[in-house]
Structure 1
Amino acid sequence: MKLVVVTAGLTQPSSSRLLADRLAEAVARRLEETPGTSPEVRVIELRELAVDVANNFVTGFPNARLREALDAVTEADGLIAVTPIFSGSYSGLYKSFFDVIDNTALTGTPVLIGATGGTARHSLALEHAVRPLFTYLRAVVAPTAVYAASEDWGGGHGAFTDGLGERIDRAAEELAGLMAHRAPRREPEEDAVVPFEEQLAALRPPQ
């Protein structure tokens, strides 16, 4: 069971990476509770691919490193995608990475979305910006989106930020359930190869 984590944090350490790690740990725990399931977790830091993503837009082709990351995302059984919130929406790097992916490549893929920001007032960006992005990509987005404001990490208490751990657990349970019940991936059918002689024979007029 392949679980891929995409995080768009720009600093190191990053609160987006911290949230992504907590979500991944919670999902992996639930997958391990399913008999016969062994999760394989892969983390992709988009800041390390920023130049590669930009070059892809200029050349029209991904280099080997970006291609490998794209393949990991599109072949995942489940995806966790976390972005910092800037100006009330996802980061430009986050959007650019998912713009590179074909808009049918994530069809049916279970996705858990998360975001971080300085204030809880930006939490609705998950619903008006991030969720529609993955709906457009035809992914299956978990009902619970997880937003972490600065006060979540500092132990403060607020009407909108209490219970980060509970929200992580609920979202992780939803994603693990979607992954466990996902229909098997269908491999594309290969076109039959018709020998050239047969193609020529088909073009000859009837005798």
Structure 2
Amino acid sequence: MKLVVVSAGIGSPSSTRLLADRIAAATAARVPAEVEVVEVRDLAAEIAQHMVTGFPAPRLAAALDAVAAADGLIAVTPVFSASYSGLFKSFFDVIDKDALTGKPVLIGATGGSARHSLVTEHAMRPLFTYLRALVLPTAVYAASEDWGGDGLAQRIERAGAELARFLGRSDASDRATGDAAHPDVDTAAAIAPRSLTGAITSVDEETGFTVVPFAEKLAELRVR
């Protein structure tokens, strides 16, 4: 089980990296996973070169391959001008268009004020939906005043539990097909339609994800 963390923090130390690490720890505490961290800051020059030349340098190629091969992804960005950072977006601009299809992605962001807390919903979630990823229900936003508070810790634990539950179910499915170590493209493709034709509306501790088809939800609205 491989879990890749993409952190777009630009400082050192970085609150973005700290949030990413805490989410990864909350996930790995619940499901066995090999965690690999991609620091986008260290790849800034390679990303710019790739956008101009179309050819990734070795370090960037390795990072892109790691994301594509991951069973799950944690993506965390600092907030700039009320959205994700340009460096964060540039990394996902150069990734293969099918690399995230059907892949569970947990999104998070850090900012100086709670005013930017909806960045995960109005910027990050549409981005990963466009890339056909399966974006998990709980996103984690951490403002400066949130650090050390119970609220942030609870959100991290909840998000980690959701991702771990999904990875655990996917791993069990892979074992049933005899290909746990190297799930093929068809496995991911089979998951993808859930994000295209249905919506994850809730996460139950006992039964896991509840997916309601859009047609069913539309029928309910018409009846009302």
TM-score (norm 1): 0.82
Q: Which has the higher helix share?
A: 2
Q: Supply the distance in 2 between the matched residues of 1:105 and 1:82 (Cα, whole angstroms).
A: 18
Contact 2:6 2:76 in 1 (8 A): yes
Match of 1:6 in 2: 6
Match of 2:156 in 1: 168
Work out the percentage of aligned pairs sharing the same amino acid.
68
Partner of 1:104, secondary structure, is coil
Q: Which has the higher strand share?
A: 2
1:108 counterpart = 2:102: yes
Contact 1:7 1:82 in 2 (8 A): yes
TM-score (norm 2): 0.76
Q: Supply the distance in 2 between the matched residues of 1:70 and 1:14 (Cα, whole angstroms).
A: 22
Contact 1:112 1:145 in 2 (8 A): yes
Offset at 1:152?
1.1
Offset at 1:172?
0.5
Contact 1:7 1:17 in 2 (8 A): yes
Q: Supply the distance in 2 between the matched residues of 1:50 and 1:181 (Cα, whole angstroms).
A: 35
Offset at 1:135?
0.4
1:27 counterpart = 2:27: yes
1:181 counterpart = 2:169: yes
Q: Deviations over 1:50-72 (max 9, x none)?
A: 00000001111101110000000
Residue 138 and residue 187 in structure 1: after superposition, are their counterparts in 2 closer, same or farther (change >3 A)? closer
Q: Moved runs in structure 1, 4+ residues, more than 4 A?
A: none
Q: Supply the distance in 1 between the matched residues of 2:25 and 2:103 (Cα, whole angstroms).
A: 19
Contact 1:83 1:91 in 2 (8 A): yes
Could you say which structure has the larger radius of gyration? 1
Q: Deviations over 1:172-205 (max 9, x none)?
A: 11111121223543247xxxxxxxxxxxxxxxxx
Q: Supply the distance in 1 between the matched residues of 2:135 and 2:167 (Cα, whole angstroms).
A: 11
Q: Supply the distance in 1 between the matched residues of 2:97 and 2:129 (Cα, whole angstroms).
A: 10
Match of 1:138 in 2: 132
The one-letter amino acid of 1:181's match is R
Match of 2:38 in 1: 44
Structure 1 gaps of 5+ residues are: 32-37, 156-161, 189-207
Offset at 1:44?
0.8
The one-letter amino acid of 2:30's match is R
Q: Deviations over 1:100-131 (max 9, x none)?
A: 01221111111100000000110101000000
1:97 counterpart = 2:91: yes
Partner of 1:9, secondary structure, is coil
The one-letter amino acid of 1:72's match is A
1:64 counterpart = 2:62: no
1:75-90 pair list within 5 angstroms: 75-90=69-84
Offset at 1:139?
0.7
Partner of 2:142, secondary structure, is strand
Structure 2 gaps of 5+ residues are: 175-182, 187-224
Q: Supply the distance in 1 between the matched residues of 2:168 and 2:44 (Cα, whole angstroms).
A: 32
Q: Supply the distance in 1 between the matched residues of 2:131 and 2:97 (Cα, whole angstroms).
A: 5
Offset at 1:154?
5.8
Aligned residues: 176
Alpha-carbon RMSD = 1.3
Contact 2:67 2:99 in 1 (8 A): no
